[in-house]
């Protein structure tokens, strides 16, 4: 029934075109013949397709609707890809201690279960976990972190007096080529290297924080704003 209606509609349109041609004469005889041939071919193809899906037309329509929905979802994901990335960063910041949720030059880090702000940093391109310590005047690396970052620990001298949880100790002054926290990158940052066994985890101190445009602790999050 559907096939018959479509065929009649095509034939009706063809008849109207031929009548208009006789009245207006806008098409040549060759153009009309070519058009009739193309429409006849379209009728044959349409009839064949409809016969193929005559018993499965509803299934074909469902499949087409599924692909249409999939296409719309993909378009939506592409359109809002930056918002989705920011949301994903925020979720990871809540689930993974130290993960920095970045938006431009502003990052947020959630407080860890132990009450400290664990911060995932990169020192000279090497991942180094640190703890935010606003009471530390400088970034302080453990001996192992300094080795991993490629610093010449065999040539350093422990000449700076520091206070640690175990009492007074001496640390070695160095300058870090690059330290990054999320999207914030600072270069030529003064730091200290603790002697072996004196420090369990590296400290993100004021020699890094003082270079930022601003930073604040509010509730269970610390926000850092890098210099544009």
- Per residue in 86-113, pLDDT (tens digit) is 555 555 555 555 566 677 788 888 887 7
| Helix axes 81-95 and 57-79, enclosed angle (nearest 10) | 70
Are 156 and 168 contacting, i.e. CB atoms less than 8 angstroms apart?
A: no
Alpha carbons 128 and 141: distance in angstroms, whole number? 9
pTM, to two decimals: 0.57
168-198 per-residue burial string, b: 16 or more CB within 10 A, e: under 16: ebebbebebeebbbbebebeebebbbbbeeb
What is the number of residues in the chain?
228
Task: Compute φ and ψ for 171, nearest 5 degrees.
Answer: -125, 165
- What are the φ and ψ backbone dihedral angles of 157, each rounded to 5 degrees? -130, 130
pLDDT in tens, 114-141: 788 888 899 999 999 999 988 888 999 9
Checking if the pLDDT of 55 tops 50, the result is: yes
pLDDT at position 189 over 70? yes
Whole-angstrom Cα distance, residue 160 to residue 32?
96
Contact 225, 212 (CB under 8 A): yes
The answer on pLDDT for 197 being more than 70 is yes
Helices (H), 25-102: 29-52, 57-79, 81-95
Fill in the DSSP letter of residue 184. Answer: E
Average pLDDT rounded to a whole number, residues 157-183 = 83
Strand arrangement, sheet containing 106-110: 101-103, 106-110, 221-225, 214-218
> 4-39 burial by CB neighbour count: b if 16+ within 10 A, else e?
eeeeeebeeeeeeeeeebeeeeeeeeeeeeeeeeee
All CATH 2.40.70.10 domain ranges of the chain, comma separated, are 97-225
Best CA proximity match to 106, nearest among 216, 194, 193, 28: 216
Backbone angles phi, psi at 42, to 5 degrees: -65, -40
CA dihedral defined by 77, 83, 87, 89, rounded to 10 degrees? Answer: 100
**pLDDT tens, residue by residue, 213-225:** 999 888 888 888 9
Residue range 97-225, CATH number:
2.40.70.10
Q: What is the pLDDT of residue 192?
A: 94
């Amino acid at each position: 029934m559907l096939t018959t209606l479509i065929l009649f509609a095509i034939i009706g349109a063809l008849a109207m075109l031929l009548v208009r041609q006789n009245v207006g004469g806008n098409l040549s005889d060759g153009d009309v013949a070519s058009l009739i041939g193309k429409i006849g071919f379209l009728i044959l193809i349409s009839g064949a397709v409809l016969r193929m899906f005559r018993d499965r037309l509803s299934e074909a329509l469902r499949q087409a609707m599924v692909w249409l929905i999939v296409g719309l979802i993909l378009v939506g994901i592409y359109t809002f890809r930056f918002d989705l990335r920011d949301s994903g960063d925020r979720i990871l910041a809540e689930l993974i201690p130290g993960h920095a949720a970045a938006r431009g030059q502003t990052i947020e880090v959630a407080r860890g279960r132990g009450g400290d702000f664990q911060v995932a940093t990169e020192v000279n391109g090497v991942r180094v976990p640190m703890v935010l310590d606003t009471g530390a005047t400088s970034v302080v690396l453990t001996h192992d972190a300094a080795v991993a970052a490629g610093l010449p620990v065999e040539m350093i001298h422990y000449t700076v007096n520091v206070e640690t949880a175990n009492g007074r100790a001496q640390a070695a002054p160095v300058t870090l080529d690059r330290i990054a926290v999320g999207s914030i990158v600072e270069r030529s940052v003064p730091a200290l290297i603790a002697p072996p066994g004196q420090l369990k985890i590296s400290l993100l101190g004021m020699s890094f924080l003082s270079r930022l445009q601003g930073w604040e602790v509010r509730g269970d999050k610390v926000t850092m704003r890098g210099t544009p």
